[in-house]
Amino acid sequence: MDFSLDTRKIIHVDMDAFYASVEQHDHPELKGKPLAVGGGHRGVVAAASYEARKFGVRSAMSSKLAIQKCPHLIFVPPRFARYKEISKQIRAIFYEYTDLVEPLSLDEAYLDVTENKKGIESANSIAKEIRQKIFEQTGLTASAGISVNKFLAKVASDINKPNGQKTIHPERVEKFLENLPVEKFYGVGKVTANKMFTHGIFKGKDLKNKTLTQLTQLFGKSGAYFYNVVRGIHHSEVKPNRIQKSVAVERTFSEDLADDQQINEKIEILSKELHQRLQKNTVSGRCLTLKVKYKDFTVFTRSLTKEEYFTSTEEYFSVAKKLWELRPLDKAVRLLGLSLSHLSTEEKNPKSIQLKIPFEEF
Task: Indicate the pairing of strand 285-294 with strand 333-343.
Answer: antiparallel
Residues 64 and 106 in one domain: no
Q: Which of 145, 169, 193 is the last residue of a domain?
A: 169
Q: Which of 169, 189, 206 is the last residue of a domain?
A: 169
Residue type, 91: R
Distances (CA, A) of 341 to 204, 223, 280, 289, 319: 36, 27, 16, 8, 14
Domain membership of residue 286 (yes or no) is yes
* CATH, residue 219: 1.10.150.20
Residues 40 and 130 in one domain: no
First-last CA distance in the chain: 14
pTM, 2 dp: 0.72
Residues 277 and 332 in one domain: yes
Residues 200 and 161 in one domain: no
Residues 253 and 340 in one domain: yes
Asked whether the beta carbons of 112 and 9 are under 8 A apart, the reply is yes
Residues whose CB falls within 8 Å of the CB of residue 231, separated by 6 or more in sequence, listed in order: 174, 177, 208, 359
Q: Is 181 helix (H, G, I), strand (E, B) or coil?
A: strand
Q: Which domain covers residue 334, as residue numbers? A: 246-348
**What letters, b where the CB count within 10 A reaches 16 and e where it falls short, cover 177-188?**
bbebebeebbeb
Residues 274 and 311 in one domain: yes
Residues whose CB falls within 8 Å of the CB of residue 70, separated by 6 or more in sequence, listed in order: 34, 52, 55, 56, 57
Nearest Cα neighbor of 167 from 3, 14, 7 is 3
* Phi then psi dihedrals of residue 141, to 5 deg: -100, 155
Q: Is 263 helix (H, G, I), strand (E, B) or coil?
A: helix
pLDDT of residue 221: 87
Residues 23 and 60 in one domain: yes
Compute the distance between CA of residue 161 and CA of residue 142 in angstroms, rounded to an integer.
8
* Residues belonging to the active site: 108
Domain count, the chain: 4
Domain membership of residue 4 (yes or no) is no
Residues 135 and 163 in one domain: yes
Cβ neighbours of 245 (radius 10 Å): 12
| Tens-level pLDDT at each residue, the chain (362 residues) | 344 445 899 999 999 999 999 999 999 999 999 999 987 666 788 899 999 999 999 988 888 899 999 999 999 999 989 999 999 999 999 999 999 999 988 999 999 999 999 999 999 999 999 999 999 999 999 999 999 999 999 999 999 999 999 999 999 999 999 999 999 998 888 889 999 999 999 999 999 999 999 999 999 989 999 999 999 999 889 989 766 788 899 888 878 888 888 999 999 999 999 988 887 777 889 999 999 998 888 888 999 998 888 988 999 999 999 999 888 778 889 999 999 998 886 654 433 333 333 333 22
Residue range 289-308, pLDDT digits in tens:
999 998 888 888 999 998 88
Residues 87 and 161 in one domain: yes
* CATH, residue 138: 3.30.70.270
